[in-house]
Structure 1
Amino acid sequence: MRLRQIEVFYAIMTAGSLRRAAELLHVSQPAASKVLRYAEQSLGFALFERAGGRLVPTREARIMLPHVNAIFEKLSDLKRLTDNLRYARDGHSISIGCVPSLGLSLVPRVVQRYRADHPGMELTIDAMHGPEIVSRIMNHDLDLGIVFGDYTCDGLTALHIANIPLMMIDAEEGEGPVSVAEINPERYIGLSENDPTARMLDMVMEEARIPIKAHVRVRTHFMAAELVRLGGGCAIVDAVTALHHPGLPRPRPLSPPLSVTCTVLFRADHALSQISQSILTLLRSELDVDLLSLKK
Protein backbone atom coordinates (compact mmCIF):
# COMPACT_ATOMS: atom_id res chain seq x y z
CA MET A 1 0.00 0.00 0.00
CA ARG A 2 1.15 3.51 -0.76
CA LEU A 3 1.12 6.13 1.98
CA ARG A 4 -1.88 7.93 0.49
CA GLN A 5 -3.84 4.67 0.43
CA ILE A 6 -2.92 4.06 4.06
CA GLU A 7 -4.08 7.59 4.93
CA VAL A 8 -7.48 6.99 3.30
CA PHE A 9 -7.89 3.61 5.00
CA TYR A 10 -6.94 5.11 8.38
CA ALA A 11 -9.29 8.06 7.90
CA ILE A 12 -12.22 5.80 7.08
CA MET A 13 -11.53 3.57 10.07
CA THR A 14 -11.26 6.64 12.30
CA ALA A 15 -14.17 8.66 10.91
CA GLY A 16 -16.54 5.77 10.28
CA SER A 17 -17.60 6.80 6.80
CA LEU A 18 -16.14 7.67 3.41
CA ARG A 19 -17.74 11.12 3.46
CA ARG A 20 -16.28 12.10 6.84
CA ALA A 21 -12.92 10.59 5.86
CA ALA A 22 -12.83 12.76 2.74
CA GLU A 23 -13.59 15.82 4.87
CA LEU A 24 -10.74 14.95 7.24
CA LEU A 25 -8.34 14.62 4.32
CA HIS A 26 -9.68 17.74 2.58
CA VAL A 27 -10.42 15.84 -0.64
CA SER A 28 -13.61 15.06 -2.53
CA GLN A 29 -15.52 11.90 -1.71
CA PRO A 30 -15.03 10.48 -5.26
CA ALA A 31 -11.27 11.03 -4.95
CA ALA A 32 -11.15 9.19 -1.62
CA SER A 33 -13.28 6.37 -3.05
CA LYS A 34 -10.89 6.04 -6.00
CA VAL A 35 -7.84 5.75 -3.72
CA LEU A 36 -9.62 3.13 -1.62
CA ARG A 37 -10.50 1.13 -4.73
CA TYR A 38 -6.88 1.16 -5.93
CA ALA A 39 -5.72 0.08 -2.46
CA GLU A 40 -8.04 -2.92 -2.45
CA GLN A 41 -6.96 -3.85 -5.96
CA SER A 42 -3.28 -3.74 -5.01
CA LEU A 43 -3.89 -5.80 -1.86
CA GLY A 44 -6.05 -8.39 -3.58
CA PHE A 45 -8.76 -8.32 -0.92
CA ALA A 46 -11.49 -5.99 0.27
CA LEU A 47 -10.97 -3.63 3.19
CA PHE A 48 -14.62 -2.72 3.58
CA GLU A 49 -17.95 -4.29 2.76
CA ARG A 50 -20.70 -2.05 1.39
CA ALA A 51 -23.84 -2.57 3.45
CA GLY A 52 -26.81 -0.23 3.24
CA GLY A 53 -24.70 2.67 2.06
CA ARG A 54 -22.18 2.15 4.85
CA LEU A 55 -18.62 0.85 4.81
CA VAL A 56 -18.13 -2.01 7.25
CA PRO A 57 -14.50 -3.03 7.94
CA THR A 58 -13.61 -6.56 6.89
CA ARG A 59 -11.75 -9.02 9.08
CA GLU A 60 -8.59 -8.20 7.16
CA ALA A 61 -9.04 -4.47 7.80
CA ARG A 62 -9.40 -5.02 11.54
CA ILE A 63 -6.24 -7.14 11.58
CA MET A 64 -4.36 -4.39 9.71
CA LEU A 65 -5.56 -1.53 11.93
CA PRO A 66 -3.07 -1.93 14.85
CA HIS A 67 -0.18 -1.93 12.38
CA VAL A 68 -1.56 1.16 10.64
CA ASN A 69 -1.96 2.84 14.04
CA ALA A 70 1.72 2.17 14.70
CA ILE A 71 2.63 3.81 11.38
CA PHE A 72 0.71 6.96 12.25
CA GLU A 73 2.26 7.07 15.72
CA LYS A 74 5.66 7.02 14.03
CA LEU A 75 4.56 9.76 11.66
CA SER A 76 3.44 11.84 14.64
CA ASP A 77 6.81 11.26 16.28
CA LEU A 78 8.52 12.38 13.07
CA LYS A 79 6.42 15.56 12.88
CA ARG A 80 7.17 16.35 16.51
CA LEU A 81 10.87 15.74 15.88
CA THR A 82 10.98 18.04 12.84
CA ASP A 83 9.09 20.73 14.76
CA ASN A 84 11.56 20.45 17.62
CA LEU A 85 14.52 20.64 15.26
CA ARG A 86 13.05 23.67 13.51
CA TYR A 87 12.39 25.57 16.73
CA ALA A 88 15.82 24.61 18.09
CA ARG A 89 17.45 26.20 15.04
CA ASP A 90 15.50 29.38 15.65
CA GLY A 91 17.24 29.63 19.02
CA HIS A 92 14.28 31.26 20.74
CA SER A 93 12.74 28.35 22.65
CA ILE A 94 13.62 25.67 25.16
CA SER A 95 11.70 22.70 26.58
CA ILE A 96 12.42 21.56 30.12
CA GLY A 97 11.17 18.51 31.99
CA CYS A 98 11.50 18.29 35.76
CA VAL A 99 10.40 15.98 38.53
CA PRO A 100 7.21 17.25 40.23
CA SER A 101 8.90 18.30 43.48
CA LEU A 102 11.21 20.72 41.67
CA GLY A 103 8.40 21.93 39.45
CA LEU A 104 6.49 23.35 42.41
CA SER A 105 9.01 25.97 43.52
CA LEU A 106 12.56 25.78 42.20
CA VAL A 107 11.99 25.56 38.44
CA PRO A 108 9.25 28.25 38.34
CA ARG A 109 11.64 30.64 40.12
CA VAL A 110 14.35 29.88 37.57
CA VAL A 111 11.94 30.40 34.69
CA GLN A 112 10.65 33.67 36.10
CA ARG A 113 14.16 35.05 36.54
CA TYR A 114 15.13 34.04 33.01
CA ARG A 115 12.01 35.52 31.42
CA ALA A 116 12.55 38.79 33.26
CA ASP A 117 15.79 39.24 31.29
CA HIS A 118 14.58 37.54 28.08
CA PRO A 119 10.91 38.48 27.60
CA GLY A 120 10.73 37.15 24.03
CA MET A 121 11.87 33.66 24.93
CA GLU A 122 9.50 30.69 24.56
CA LEU A 123 9.75 28.13 27.35
CA THR A 124 7.84 24.89 27.77
CA ILE A 125 7.93 23.29 31.22
CA ASP A 126 6.57 19.81 31.98
CA ALA A 127 6.52 18.01 35.32
CA MET A 128 6.98 14.25 35.02
CA HIS A 129 8.93 11.36 36.49
CA GLY A 130 12.55 10.59 35.71
CA PRO A 131 12.14 7.69 33.23
CA GLU A 132 9.69 9.70 31.12
CA ILE A 133 12.09 12.65 31.12
CA VAL A 134 14.87 10.39 29.80
CA SER A 135 12.61 8.98 27.10
CA ARG A 136 11.48 12.41 25.94
CA ILE A 137 15.02 13.80 25.85
CA MET A 138 16.11 10.90 23.66
CA ASN A 139 13.12 11.57 21.39
CA HIS A 140 14.08 15.26 21.05
CA ASP A 141 10.93 16.29 22.93
CA LEU A 142 12.92 17.97 25.71
CA ASP A 143 16.10 20.02 25.71
CA LEU A 144 16.81 19.62 29.41
CA GLY A 145 15.68 17.33 32.19
CA ILE A 146 16.04 18.09 35.90
CA VAL A 147 15.78 14.99 38.09
CA PHE A 148 16.69 13.45 41.41
CA GLY A 149 19.28 10.70 41.33
CA ASP A 150 21.78 9.54 38.73
CA TYR A 151 20.70 8.28 35.32
CA THR A 152 23.02 6.40 32.98
CA CYS A 153 21.90 5.85 29.42
CA ASP A 154 23.72 5.64 26.10
CA GLY A 155 23.46 8.96 24.32
CA LEU A 156 22.61 10.86 27.52
CA THR A 157 24.77 13.29 29.50
CA ALA A 158 24.11 13.62 33.24
CA LEU A 159 25.42 16.80 34.87
CA HIS A 160 25.58 16.92 38.66
CA ILE A 161 24.14 20.20 39.98
CA ALA A 162 23.91 19.82 43.75
CA ASN A 163 23.36 17.46 46.63
CA ILE A 164 20.00 18.28 48.16
CA PRO A 165 19.64 17.24 51.82
CA LEU A 166 16.80 14.99 52.86
CA MET A 167 14.68 16.28 55.71
CA MET A 168 12.23 14.80 58.15
CA ILE A 169 8.82 16.48 58.31
CA ASP A 170 6.47 15.63 61.15
CA ALA A 171 3.97 17.86 62.92
CA GLU A 172 4.05 15.75 66.11
CA GLU A 173 7.79 15.64 66.76
CA GLY A 174 10.32 18.06 68.23
CA GLU A 175 13.25 19.99 66.80
CA GLY A 176 16.86 19.30 65.90
CA PRO A 177 18.49 16.44 63.99
CA VAL A 178 16.66 13.13 63.90
CA SER A 179 17.87 9.60 63.17
CA VAL A 180 15.98 7.23 60.89
CA ALA A 181 16.01 4.84 63.85
CA GLU A 182 13.64 7.23 65.66
CA ILE A 183 10.95 7.00 62.97
CA ASN A 184 7.64 5.62 64.15
CA PRO A 185 6.93 2.81 61.63
CA GLU A 186 3.19 3.15 62.16
CA ARG A 187 3.26 6.77 60.97
CA TYR A 188 5.91 6.58 58.27
CA ILE A 189 4.87 7.70 54.78
CA GLY A 190 7.25 6.24 52.22
CA LEU A 191 8.02 7.07 48.62
CA SER A 192 7.40 4.82 45.65
CA GLU A 193 10.01 2.10 45.32
CA ASN A 194 10.88 3.45 41.86
CA ASP A 195 11.97 6.78 43.36
CA PRO A 196 15.79 7.07 43.74
CA THR A 197 15.28 8.64 47.18
CA ALA A 198 13.14 5.71 48.30
CA ARG A 199 15.73 3.19 47.11
CA MET A 200 18.45 4.97 49.09
CA LEU A 201 16.32 5.23 52.26
CA ASP A 202 15.29 1.58 52.06
CA MET A 203 18.95 0.60 51.72
CA VAL A 204 19.96 2.73 54.72
CA MET A 205 17.22 1.23 56.86
CA GLU A 206 18.06 -2.29 55.76
CA GLU A 207 21.77 -1.85 56.52
CA ALA A 208 20.92 -0.39 59.93
CA ARG A 209 18.50 -3.29 60.56
CA ILE A 210 15.67 -0.84 61.14
CA PRO A 211 12.37 -2.73 60.68
CA ILE A 212 10.38 0.03 59.01
CA LYS A 213 7.90 -0.84 56.30
CA ALA A 214 5.80 2.03 55.04
CA HIS A 215 2.06 1.38 55.18
CA VAL A 216 1.56 4.21 52.69
CA ARG A 217 3.78 4.88 49.68
CA VAL A 218 3.34 7.78 47.29
CA ARG A 219 4.95 8.68 43.97
CA THR A 220 6.07 12.24 44.74
CA HIS A 221 7.73 14.14 47.57
CA PHE A 222 4.95 16.73 47.22
CA MET A 223 2.24 14.16 47.96
CA ALA A 224 4.17 12.85 50.96
CA ALA A 225 4.46 16.43 52.26
CA GLU A 226 0.76 17.05 51.75
CA LEU A 227 -0.13 13.93 53.74
CA VAL A 228 2.10 15.17 56.56
CA ARG A 229 0.40 18.58 56.42
CA LEU A 230 -2.97 16.86 56.80
CA GLY A 231 -1.74 14.96 59.86
CA GLY A 232 -1.26 11.65 58.09
CA GLY A 233 2.14 10.86 59.59
CA CYS A 234 5.80 11.64 59.00
CA ALA A 235 7.94 11.53 55.89
CA ILE A 236 11.44 12.10 54.58
CA VAL A 237 11.51 14.42 51.58
CA ASP A 238 13.97 16.61 49.71
CA ALA A 239 14.80 19.96 51.27
CA VAL A 240 13.26 21.99 48.42
CA THR A 241 9.87 20.38 49.03
CA ALA A 242 10.25 20.66 52.80
CA LEU A 243 11.05 24.38 52.57
CA HIS A 244 8.38 25.46 50.12
CA HIS A 245 5.38 23.22 50.69
CA PRO A 246 2.89 25.52 52.50
CA GLY A 247 1.71 24.69 56.00
CA LEU A 248 4.46 22.23 56.96
CA PRO A 249 6.23 22.16 60.32
CA ARG A 250 9.87 23.21 60.30
CA PRO A 251 11.86 20.41 58.64
CA ARG A 252 14.45 18.53 60.68
CA PRO A 253 17.82 17.40 59.31
CA LEU A 254 18.72 13.73 59.40
CA SER A 255 21.53 12.38 61.54
CA PRO A 256 23.70 11.17 59.94
CA PRO A 257 22.92 13.47 57.00
CA LEU A 258 21.51 12.02 53.80
CA SER A 259 21.11 13.77 50.47
CA VAL A 260 19.77 13.17 46.99
CA THR A 261 21.57 14.24 43.84
CA CYS A 262 20.01 16.92 41.66
CA THR A 263 21.01 16.13 38.09
CA VAL A 264 20.47 17.87 34.76
CA LEU A 265 20.10 15.59 31.73
CA PHE A 266 20.55 16.36 28.04
CA ARG A 267 21.49 14.56 24.85
CA ALA A 268 25.16 13.65 24.60
CA ASP A 269 25.27 14.50 20.89
CA HIS A 270 24.09 18.09 21.50
CA ALA A 271 26.25 20.88 22.85
CA LEU A 272 24.42 22.93 25.45
CA SER A 273 22.93 26.04 23.90
CA GLN A 274 23.47 29.47 25.43
CA ILE A 275 19.89 29.32 26.67
CA SER A 276 20.49 26.02 28.44
CA GLN A 277 23.70 27.28 30.01
CA SER A 278 21.89 30.35 31.34
CA ILE A 279 19.13 28.15 32.77
CA LEU A 280 21.74 25.99 34.52
CA THR A 281 23.41 29.05 36.03
CA LEU A 282 20.09 30.26 37.42
CA LEU A 283 19.25 26.77 38.66
CA ARG A 284 22.47 26.59 40.66
CA SER A 285 21.84 30.09 42.00
CA GLU A 286 18.32 29.29 43.21
CA LEU A 287 19.45 26.03 44.76
CA ASP A 288 22.17 27.91 46.64
CA VAL A 289 19.47 30.21 48.05
CA ASP A 290 17.47 27.23 49.32
CA LEU A 291 20.46 25.38 50.73
CA LEU A 292 21.69 28.53 52.49
CA SER A 293 18.30 29.02 54.13
CA LEU A 294 18.63 25.59 55.76
CA LYS A 295 21.64 26.82 57.73
CA LYS A 296 19.78 29.75 59.29
Structure 2
Amino acid sequence: MTQPLISVIVPCYNVEEYLPRCVESVLNQTYRNLEILLVDDGSPDRCGEICDGYAAVDSRVKVIHKENGGLSDARNVALDVMKGEYVTFVDSDDYVAADYVEYLYKLIVKEKACLSVMNFQPFVEGTMPKDCGGEIAINIFSVEGALIQMFYQQAFDTAACGKMYHSLLFDEVRYPKNLLYEDLATTYRLIMKCSQIVCSDYRGYFYLHRSTSIEGTPFKPLKYESCMRIIRQLEADKVRMPERVRRALDCRIVSFAFHILLEVPQEEKEMRRSLLEIIRRKRIHVLFDGKARRKARAACLLSLAGVWLVNLFVGYGKSRKVD
Protein backbone atom coordinates (compact mmCIF):
# COMPACT_ATOMS: atom_id res chain seq x y z
CA MET A 1 0.00 0.00 0.00
CA THR A 2 1.35 3.43 -0.95
CA GLN A 3 2.08 5.64 2.01
CA PRO A 4 0.52 9.10 1.70
CA LEU A 5 2.77 12.13 1.87
CA ILE A 6 2.89 13.64 5.35
CA SER A 7 4.12 17.20 5.92
CA VAL A 8 6.15 18.01 9.03
CA ILE A 9 6.32 21.75 9.76
CA VAL A 10 9.18 23.06 11.92
CA PRO A 11 9.27 26.84 12.55
CA CYS A 12 12.80 27.99 13.44
CA TYR A 13 13.82 31.11 15.33
CA ASN A 14 16.93 31.66 17.45
CA VAL A 15 17.35 27.97 18.32
CA GLU A 16 20.64 27.02 16.66
CA GLU A 17 21.64 25.12 19.82
CA TYR A 18 18.61 22.82 19.63
CA LEU A 19 17.74 22.72 15.93
CA PRO A 20 20.04 19.85 14.82
CA ARG A 21 18.60 17.47 17.42
CA CYS A 22 15.07 18.40 16.35
CA VAL A 23 15.62 18.07 12.59
CA GLU A 24 17.58 14.84 12.87
CA SER A 25 14.77 13.28 14.94
CA VAL A 26 12.42 14.10 12.05
CA LEU A 27 14.82 12.86 9.37
CA ASN A 28 15.19 9.53 11.21
CA GLN A 29 11.47 8.75 11.30
CA THR A 30 10.40 5.18 10.57
CA TYR A 31 7.75 6.71 8.27
CA ARG A 32 9.76 7.79 5.24
CA ASN A 33 7.34 9.54 2.84
CA LEU A 34 7.74 12.98 4.39
CA GLU A 35 7.80 16.57 3.27
CA ILE A 36 9.85 18.41 5.92
CA LEU A 37 9.22 22.16 5.86
CA LEU A 38 11.81 24.12 7.84
CA VAL A 39 10.69 27.72 8.21
CA ASP A 40 13.51 30.16 8.94
CA ASP A 41 11.47 32.94 10.53
CA GLY A 42 14.10 35.64 10.02
CA SER A 43 16.26 34.05 12.69
CA PRO A 44 19.24 36.21 13.76
CA ASP A 45 21.47 33.20 14.47
CA ARG A 46 22.62 30.31 12.24
CA CYS A 47 19.19 28.64 11.93
CA GLY A 48 18.84 29.52 8.25
CA GLU A 49 22.28 28.16 7.45
CA ILE A 50 21.60 24.95 9.39
CA CYS A 51 18.30 24.46 7.56
CA ASP A 52 19.98 24.92 4.17
CA GLY A 53 22.58 22.34 5.16
CA TYR A 54 19.92 19.69 5.77
CA ALA A 55 18.14 20.54 2.51
CA ALA A 56 21.41 19.96 0.64
CA VAL A 57 21.68 16.36 1.86
CA ASP A 58 18.03 15.23 2.03
CA SER A 59 15.57 15.95 -0.79
CA ARG A 60 12.60 15.69 1.58
CA VAL A 61 13.70 18.91 3.29
CA LYS A 62 12.38 22.21 1.94
CA VAL A 63 13.49 25.49 3.49
CA ILE A 64 11.39 28.65 3.62
CA HIS A 65 13.32 31.83 4.44
CA LYS A 66 11.12 34.75 5.50
CA GLU A 67 11.12 37.96 7.51
CA ASN A 68 10.36 37.49 11.17
CA GLY A 69 6.61 37.29 11.71
CA GLY A 70 6.24 35.06 14.75
CA LEU A 71 5.25 31.45 15.29
CA SER A 72 1.76 31.72 13.81
CA ASP A 73 3.02 33.39 10.66
CA ALA A 74 5.75 30.75 10.24
CA ARG A 75 3.24 27.92 10.54
CA ASN A 76 0.80 29.64 8.18
CA VAL A 77 3.42 30.18 5.46
CA ALA A 78 4.20 26.46 5.53
CA LEU A 79 0.49 25.50 5.58
CA ASP A 80 0.00 27.61 2.44
CA VAL A 81 2.53 25.58 0.43
CA MET A 82 2.46 22.10 2.00
CA LYS A 83 1.53 19.17 -0.22
CA GLY A 84 0.96 16.43 2.38
CA GLU A 85 -2.34 14.66 2.87
CA TYR A 86 -1.64 14.93 6.60
CA VAL A 87 0.38 17.45 8.59
CA THR A 88 2.05 17.62 11.99
CA PHE A 89 4.04 20.31 13.81
CA VAL A 90 7.28 20.02 15.76
CA ASP A 91 8.73 22.99 17.63
CA SER A 92 12.40 23.49 16.86
CA ASP A 93 13.65 23.23 20.46
CA ASP A 94 11.80 19.94 20.98
CA TYR A 95 12.34 16.55 19.34
CA VAL A 96 10.34 13.41 18.65
CA ALA A 97 10.63 9.62 18.93
CA ALA A 98 11.59 7.69 15.79
CA ASP A 99 8.03 6.40 15.40
CA TYR A 100 6.31 9.73 16.10
CA VAL A 101 4.87 10.20 12.60
CA GLU A 102 4.12 6.53 12.00
CA TYR A 103 2.34 6.17 15.34
CA LEU A 104 0.08 9.20 14.81
CA TYR A 105 -0.68 8.14 11.23
CA LYS A 106 -1.58 4.56 12.21
CA LEU A 107 -3.96 5.89 14.86
CA ILE A 108 -5.78 7.90 12.21
CA VAL A 109 -6.01 4.97 9.79
CA LYS A 110 -7.08 2.41 12.38
CA GLU A 111 -9.78 4.58 13.94
CA LYS A 112 -10.83 6.40 10.73
CA ALA A 113 -10.21 9.72 12.48
CA CYS A 114 -9.36 13.17 11.13
CA LEU A 115 -7.01 14.04 13.99
CA SER A 116 -4.76 12.02 16.27
CA VAL A 117 -3.10 13.06 19.52
CA MET A 118 -0.26 11.76 21.68
CA ASN A 119 1.05 12.99 25.03
CA PHE A 120 4.13 15.10 25.68
CA GLN A 121 7.11 13.95 27.71
CA PRO A 122 8.45 17.19 29.24
CA PHE A 123 12.03 17.61 30.35
CA VAL A 124 14.14 20.43 31.74
CA GLU A 125 17.12 21.91 29.94
CA GLY A 126 20.29 19.98 30.75
CA THR A 127 18.43 16.71 31.43
CA MET A 128 17.07 13.83 29.37
CA PRO A 129 13.38 12.83 29.16
CA LYS A 130 12.40 10.07 31.57
CA ASP A 131 11.15 6.74 30.28
CA CYS A 132 7.57 6.59 31.54
CA GLY A 133 6.80 3.06 30.37
CA GLY A 134 3.55 1.47 31.50
CA GLU A 135 0.43 0.53 29.61
CA ILE A 136 -0.68 2.83 26.80
CA ALA A 137 -4.37 3.79 26.77
CA ILE A 138 -6.11 4.82 23.53
CA ASN A 139 -9.42 6.69 23.55
CA ILE A 140 -11.78 7.62 20.74
CA PHE A 141 -13.69 10.87 21.18
CA SER A 142 -16.59 12.47 19.39
CA VAL A 143 -16.17 16.17 18.63
CA GLU A 144 -18.13 17.04 21.76
CA GLY A 145 -16.13 14.61 23.89
CA ALA A 146 -12.80 15.86 22.53
CA LEU A 147 -13.66 19.51 23.19
CA ILE A 148 -14.72 18.67 26.75
CA GLN A 149 -11.49 16.75 27.39
CA MET A 150 -9.37 19.56 25.94
CA PHE A 151 -11.10 22.47 27.66
CA TYR A 152 -10.98 20.66 31.01
CA GLN A 153 -7.28 19.94 30.26
CA GLN A 154 -7.73 16.23 30.90
CA ALA A 155 -6.77 13.76 28.15
CA PHE A 156 -4.96 16.44 26.12
CA ASP A 157 -4.51 20.19 25.77
CA THR A 158 -4.62 22.75 22.97
CA ALA A 159 -0.96 22.56 21.84
CA ALA A 160 -0.50 22.34 18.06
CA CYS A 161 2.37 19.86 18.43
CA GLY A 162 1.96 16.20 19.30
CA LYS A 163 -0.98 15.95 16.92
CA MET A 164 -1.56 14.90 13.31
CA TYR A 165 -4.24 16.56 11.20
CA HIS A 166 -5.84 15.77 7.88
CA SER A 167 -4.76 18.68 5.71
CA LEU A 168 -8.36 19.49 4.76
CA LEU A 169 -8.95 20.63 8.35
CA PHE A 170 -6.84 23.69 7.58
CA ASP A 171 -9.07 24.83 4.74
CA GLU A 172 -10.09 28.33 5.90
CA VAL A 173 -8.32 27.87 9.26
CA ARG A 174 -5.00 29.53 10.10
CA TYR A 175 -3.15 30.50 13.28
CA PRO A 176 -3.82 34.13 14.36
CA LYS A 177 -0.87 36.42 13.67
CA ASN A 178 0.63 38.72 16.28
CA LEU A 179 -0.86 36.78 19.18
CA LEU A 180 0.65 34.62 21.89
CA TYR A 181 -1.17 31.43 22.96
CA GLU A 182 -2.22 30.98 19.32
CA ASP A 183 -2.91 27.25 19.80
CA LEU A 184 -5.77 27.99 22.18
CA ALA A 185 -7.39 30.11 19.47
CA THR A 186 -7.02 27.45 16.76
CA THR A 187 -7.05 23.81 17.90
CA TYR A 188 -10.70 23.78 18.96
CA ARG A 189 -11.74 25.12 15.54
CA LEU A 190 -9.89 22.24 13.87
CA ILE A 191 -11.56 19.72 16.18
CA MET A 192 -14.98 21.16 15.36
CA LYS A 193 -14.39 20.17 11.70
CA CYS A 194 -13.61 16.52 12.56
CA SER A 195 -15.70 13.37 12.54
CA GLN A 196 -13.89 11.83 15.49
CA ILE A 197 -10.56 12.20 17.32
CA VAL A 198 -8.22 9.50 18.60
CA CYS A 199 -5.98 10.14 21.60
CA SER A 200 -3.14 7.99 22.98
CA ASP A 201 -1.16 8.13 26.23
CA TYR A 202 2.00 7.29 24.28
CA ARG A 203 4.67 9.93 24.98
CA GLY A 204 6.60 10.25 21.75
CA TYR A 205 6.96 14.02 21.75
CA PHE A 206 9.76 15.37 23.94
CA TYR A 207 8.94 18.88 25.12
CA LEU A 208 11.77 21.08 26.41
CA HIS A 209 11.06 23.52 29.25
CA ARG A 210 13.21 26.62 28.62
CA SER A 211 13.56 29.77 30.73
CA THR A 212 13.34 31.79 27.49
CA SER A 213 9.98 30.31 26.44
CA ILE A 214 6.82 32.44 26.49
CA GLU A 215 5.94 31.11 29.96
CA GLY A 216 9.45 31.76 31.25
CA THR A 217 9.74 35.38 30.12
CA PRO A 218 8.71 38.42 32.21
CA PHE A 219 5.25 39.94 31.72
CA LYS A 220 4.67 42.05 28.64
CA PRO A 221 1.43 43.73 27.50
CA LEU A 222 1.13 41.37 24.51
CA LYS A 223 0.34 38.54 26.95
CA TYR A 224 -2.67 40.46 28.24
CA GLU A 225 -3.75 41.64 24.79
CA SER A 226 -3.53 38.11 23.40
CA CYS A 227 -5.51 36.74 26.32
CA MET A 228 -8.35 39.25 25.90
CA ARG A 229 -8.59 38.79 22.12
CA ILE A 230 -8.64 35.01 22.42
CA ILE A 231 -11.27 35.07 25.17
CA ARG A 232 -13.48 37.31 23.01
CA GLN A 233 -13.11 34.81 20.14
CA LEU A 234 -13.92 31.87 22.42
CA GLU A 235 -17.01 33.62 23.75
CA ALA A 236 -18.20 34.37 20.21
CA ASP A 237 -17.76 30.75 19.10
CA LYS A 238 -19.28 29.34 22.29
CA VAL A 239 -22.81 29.90 21.01
CA ARG A 240 -22.24 27.08 18.47
CA MET A 241 -21.24 24.59 21.15
CA PRO A 242 -23.39 22.17 23.19
CA GLU A 243 -24.08 23.05 26.82
CA ARG A 244 -21.59 20.53 28.24
CA VAL A 245 -18.83 21.96 26.05
CA ARG A 246 -19.72 25.52 27.07
CA ARG A 247 -19.29 24.57 30.73
CA ALA A 248 -15.86 23.08 30.01
CA LEU A 249 -14.91 26.15 27.98
CA ASP A 250 -15.86 28.47 30.85
CA CYS A 251 -13.44 26.54 33.04
CA ARG A 252 -10.66 26.94 30.45
CA ILE A 253 -11.36 30.67 30.12
CA VAL A 254 -11.19 31.15 33.89
CA SER A 255 -7.92 29.18 34.10
CA PHE A 256 -6.48 31.30 31.28
CA ALA A 257 -7.59 34.55 32.92
CA PHE A 258 -6.06 33.53 36.26
CA HIS A 259 -2.84 32.52 34.52
CA ILE A 260 -2.41 35.99 33.00
CA LEU A 261 -3.74 37.88 36.04
CA LEU A 262 -1.05 36.40 38.26
CA GLU A 263 1.59 37.82 35.91
CA VAL A 264 0.13 41.33 35.51
CA PRO A 265 1.94 43.90 37.71
CA GLN A 266 -0.10 45.56 40.45
CA GLU A 267 0.22 48.99 38.83
CA GLU A 268 -1.58 47.79 35.67
CA LYS A 269 -4.96 48.35 37.30
CA GLU A 270 -7.08 48.39 34.12
CA MET A 271 -5.65 45.07 32.92
CA ARG A 272 -6.25 43.49 36.30
CA ARG A 273 -9.79 44.88 36.48
CA SER A 274 -10.70 43.39 33.08
CA LEU A 275 -9.34 39.96 33.95
CA LEU A 276 -11.01 39.98 37.36
CA GLU A 277 -14.33 40.83 35.75
CA ILE A 278 -14.05 37.72 33.53
CA ILE A 279 -13.24 35.59 36.56
CA ARG A 280 -16.07 37.04 38.68
CA ARG A 281 -18.65 36.34 35.96
CA LYS A 282 -17.74 32.66 35.77
CA ARG A 283 -16.15 31.59 39.04
CA ILE A 284 -19.29 30.35 40.81
CA HIS A 285 -20.12 28.04 37.89
CA VAL A 286 -16.52 26.75 37.85
CA LEU A 287 -16.44 26.37 41.62
CA PHE A 288 -19.44 24.02 41.53
CA ASP A 289 -18.39 22.15 38.40
CA GLY A 290 -17.22 18.74 39.61
CA LYS A 291 -15.31 18.14 36.36
CA ALA A 292 -13.26 21.32 36.60
CA ARG A 293 -9.59 21.06 37.56
CA ARG A 294 -8.97 21.24 41.28
CA LYS A 295 -6.50 24.09 40.75
CA ALA A 296 -9.15 26.13 38.93
CA ARG A 297 -11.78 25.47 41.60
CA ALA A 298 -9.32 26.31 44.39
CA ALA A 299 -8.36 29.56 42.68
CA CYS A 300 -12.03 30.51 42.29
CA LEU A 301 -12.68 29.78 45.96
CA LEU A 302 -9.65 31.73 47.17
CA SER A 303 -10.48 34.66 44.88
CA LEU A 304 -13.70 35.22 46.82
CA ALA A 305 -11.46 36.50 49.62
CA GLY A 306 -9.17 38.41 47.26
CA VAL A 307 -6.58 37.85 44.55
CA TRP A 308 -3.83 38.30 47.13
CA LEU A 309 -4.82 34.92 48.58
CA VAL A 310 -4.57 33.28 45.15
CA ASN A 311 -1.10 34.80 44.76
CA LEU A 312 -0.09 33.45 48.16
CA PHE A 313 -1.36 29.96 47.27
CA VAL A 314 0.49 29.97 43.92
CA GLY A 315 3.70 31.22 45.55
CA TYR A 316 3.51 28.51 48.19
CA GLY A 317 3.04 25.85 45.52
CA LYS A 318 6.05 27.07 43.57
CA SER A 319 8.22 27.08 46.70
CA ARG A 320 7.48 23.38 47.22
CA LYS A 321 8.49 22.27 43.71
CA VAL A 322 11.44 19.92 43.48
CA ASP A 323 13.78 20.05 40.44
TM-score range, shorter chain: under 0.3
Q: TM-score when scaled to structure 2?
A: 0.23
Structure with higher RCO (Cα < 8 A, 6+ apart): 1
Q: TM-score when scaled to structure 1?
A: 0.25
The structure with more helix, counted as a fraction of residues? 1
Q: Which has the larger radius of gyration?
A: 1
